[in-house]
Amino acid sequence: MPITEFASLSLIPPNKLSDPHVIELFSKVSSWQASSSGYQLCFFTNPDEPAEIHLITGWDGVAAHDEWIKSSRNQELLQNGRNFLNIMGMVHLDLDFSEFPVGVESLICVRFIGAIEDLSEEAKVKRAMHVKGGWTRYGKDVQQSGTGVYYFTESDTLEDIDGDGVDMKTRLKRVTFTD
């Protein structure tokens, strides 16, 4: 089963999504990484935090992603972006990327920690039904326990999703990088 990479990045001010060097870097990331992984990359921004960029893509496993991370092409991309981009975080989720709606224009990402970790699969599905708006899936980090459960739902609105264990709620809007 393909896993899903969910990476969160942040532009260092005064850099903007529309800057030519930012577009060039993410165009290369999209092309080079997809040719390595075999999976399309989806980029999103957070309208509430325009400097945030979220990358969602698939890998055949953590080892395949690790090979990409070590590759000369990825190292070149990291070097090129080091002066204007910070890596905020990255997880490998047990969410089958082949089910991901790659053409979706907007998503909501909600991370639950703590109280939800010990829920049964049935209870997690019921929680996912609460976080609804079209396509809805969840995944846990395959490498570290305790990082929470990430729910993704296709939606245009950030509903009032609160309760035990809600750690993060982020509205995601698709962004395309072409040079």
Q: Evaluate whether residue 179 is within a structural domain.
A: no
Half-sphere exposure of 92 (CA within 13 A, CB side): 15
Q: Sorting pLDDT into bands at 50, 70 and 90, what band is 125? A: very low
| 151 Cβ contact partners less than 8 Å away, ≥ 6 residues apart | 108, 109, 110, 111, 112, 127, 128, 131, 136, 137, 138
Residue 147 pLDDT exceeds 50: yes
**For position 129, what pLDDT does the model report?**
46
**For position 164, what pLDDT does the model report?**
55
pTM for the model: 0.86
Cα 144–Cα 153–Cα 52 angle in degrees, nearest 5: 70
User: Exposed, middle or buried: residue 131 (CB in 10 Å: 0-12, 13-18, 19+)?
Assistant: buried
Q: Sorting pLDDT into bands at 50, 70 and 90, what band is 169? A: confident
Residue 24 pLDDT exceeds 60: yes
Q: Evaluate whether residue 129 is within a structural domain.
A: yes
pLDDT digits (tens, 9 = 90+) for 129-144: 455 557 888 899 998 8
Q: Evaluate whether residue 19 is within a structural domain.
A: yes
Q: Which residue has the higher pLDDT, 135 or 11?
A: 11
Mean pLDDT for 99-126 is 71
CATH classification of the domain holding 122: 3.30.70.100
Q: Evaluate whether residue 25 is within a structural domain.
A: yes
* Mean pLDDT taken over the chain: 85
- 118 lies in which domain range? 3-174
**For position 149, what pLDDT does the model report?**
84
Q: Which residue has the higher pLDDT, 21 or 111?
A: 21
The tally of domains found in the chain comes to: 1
Q: Evaluate whether residue 13 is within a structural domain.
A: yes
| CB 177 within 8 Å of CB 27 | yes
Q: Evaluate whether residue 41 is within a structural domain.
A: yes
Mean pLDDT for 70-89 is 96
Q: In what order do the strands lie in the sheet with 85-93?
A: 85-93, 3-11, 49-59, 42-46, 166-174, 106-112, 149-154, 136-140
